[in-house]
Amino acid sequence: MSEMSEQQEVTFKDIEEAARTLKGAVRTTPIDRSRILSEMSGMDLYLKMENMQRTGSFKLRGAYNKIYSLSDSDRKKGVVAASAGNHAQGVAHAATLLDTRSTIVMPETASPAKVDATKGYGAKVILHGAVFDETLEMAKKIAAKEGSIFVHPFDDPKVIAGQGTVGLEMLESAPELETIVVPVGGGGLISGIAVAAKAIKPKIRIVGVQSQAFPSMYMAFKTARIVPFKAEETIADGIAVKQPGKLDYKLVRKLVDDVVLVSDADIAEAIFLMLERMKTVAEAAGAAGVGACLAGVVKAAPGPCGVVISGGNIDMYTLDQIVAKGLEREHRLLRVKVTLSDKPGALRDTLDVIATARANVVNVEHDRVGKDIPIGRAVVTFTLETQNMEHTKSLISALGKARLKYRLVN
């Protein structure tokens, strides 16, 4: 980052200009009140659906605004970015829209679906690095070697101004909002929203939400300085940032009212509820705000609360796990290991007990040669659909009455 961008403020005028720039290039995403989530959280929740944005996240806004601001000569040099997902797709699509060449460096561990999506938006993709720091270093080397323009994912005034248009849209559509809750990684989204929202409505409350595993902005906000911390694994990879941007941190300290932490478990529950009750898909980072509200981490305050659903690009395998665990948590999916006599009819008799209890068999795994299985016995693992806790208790009771040797599998 240059000295100039480190010192340059982002103003409401910058965000208004960005809104004019983005007109026609990005969607004005809806903001809708969720009755069910409002009831569950005890807050009046309005969701800003950036998961419905082109490329599946808000990142297109900042990327487009940054690339658009470049001179013709700089655009001809092409742009370079480092990202594991949303920023990659945002830069790739924005560059293609603006007839600019783009190179995206992604970690070697990046999701194949996200790599393919980034290529599909027109970028040249280079896989490099086991961790993101290595990926970022390679991107900067390529930019320096080729004379291309490096597009930072959050620590850039043009990127921040582009992301700030989310806040502008929120208060244009729902001026009654008294609080805005925003997922936080490096800080580009929340700092832009804070600039816009505080200019329109100075007393509005802005709350950031970070993963407990990556509390970089939280620690900086609470200690008034950027400090190192021990990172852990998280499903919210979109906000797993080791160090907030310097300009972003400056704006957050000045304009944001609070930063809170949310657990992976609460994020997963939010994804599950939004999928089942609202028929909408949010990625883990995108659901962090809803997770924090449902968990009571964001304290209820008078008036409506807007929550930014920042993206919807979730890995399908991760989503499958979240759905399965959500069903288990609600006692609607049960795994039972039953030890049977290894003889004809034993499996059928067990299935009869399950059918009489009106549980649906999803999957059956039969093992008769495992090292802990006695000769003449077999262990069958059933995955069963049940309706609720009472139905599950009824099924377990039926297994016991049939004198079956079983154990529940978590």
- Residues annotated catalytic, as ranges: 59, 310
pLDDT at 289 over 60: yes
pLDDT at 3 over 50: no
Neighbouring CB atoms inside 10 A of 108's CB total 11
Per-residue b or e along 211-237, where b marks 16 or more CB atoms closer than 10 Å to that residue's CB: bbbbbbbbbbbeeeeeeeeeeeebbbb
pLDDT tens for 179-237 read 999 999 999 999 999 999 999 999 999 999 999 999 999 999 999 998 888 889 999 98
- Looking at residue 6, its pLDDT comes to 46
Domains of the chain are 3-57+156-324 (3.40.50.1100), 59-150 (3.40.50.1100), 331-409 (3.30.70.260)
Q: Which residue has the higher pLDDT, 305 or 301?
A: 305
**pLDDT above 90 coverage of the chain, percent:** 85
Contact criterion met (CB below 8 Å) for 93 and 26: no
Token output for 172: 């244009």
pLDDT at 5 over 50: no
DSSP helix/strand/coil, 379: strand
Distance, CA of 323 to CA of 305 (rounded, Å): 27
Per-residue b or e along 82-99, where b marks 16 or more CB atoms closer than 10 Å to that residue's CB: bbbbbbbbbbbbbbebbe
Supply the mean pLDDT for the chain: 94
Distance, CA of 258 to CA of 312 (rounded, Å): 25
pLDDT at 1 over 60: no
- Looking at residue 84, its pLDDT comes to 80
Distance, CA of 231 to CA of 44 (rounded, Å): 33
H-run or E-run covering 341: strand 333-341
What's the average model confidence in pLDDT over 245-273?
Answer: 97
Distance, CA of 381 to CA of 338 (rounded, Å): 6
pLDDT tens for 35-63 read 999 999 999 999 999 999 999 999 999 99
- Looking at residue 354, its pLDDT comes to 96
What's the average model confidence in pLDDT over 88-113?
Answer: 94
- Looking at residue 42, its pLDDT comes to 96
- Looking at residue 2, its pLDDT comes to 41
Choose among 284, 113, 311, 95: nearest CA to 104.
95
The CA-atom distances, in angstroms, between 117 and each of 108, 244, 329 are: 15, 27, 33
- Looking at residue 130, its pLDDT comes to 81
Q: Which residues neighbour 345 within 8 Å (Cβ) at sequence distance 6 or greater?
A: none
pLDDT at 19 over 90: yes
H-run or E-run covering 332: none
**pLDDT above 70 coverage of the chain, percent:** 98
- Looking at residue 131, its pLDDT comes to 72
What's the average model confidence in pLDDT over 327-344?
Answer: 92
| Ranges of H-type helices in 226-263 | 246-255
- Among 110-114, 174-178, 295-299, 302-306, the least confident range: 110-114
Choose among 321, 229, 322: nearest CA to 273.
322
pLDDT at 386 over 60: yes
What's the average model confidence in pLDDT over 267-286?
Answer: 97
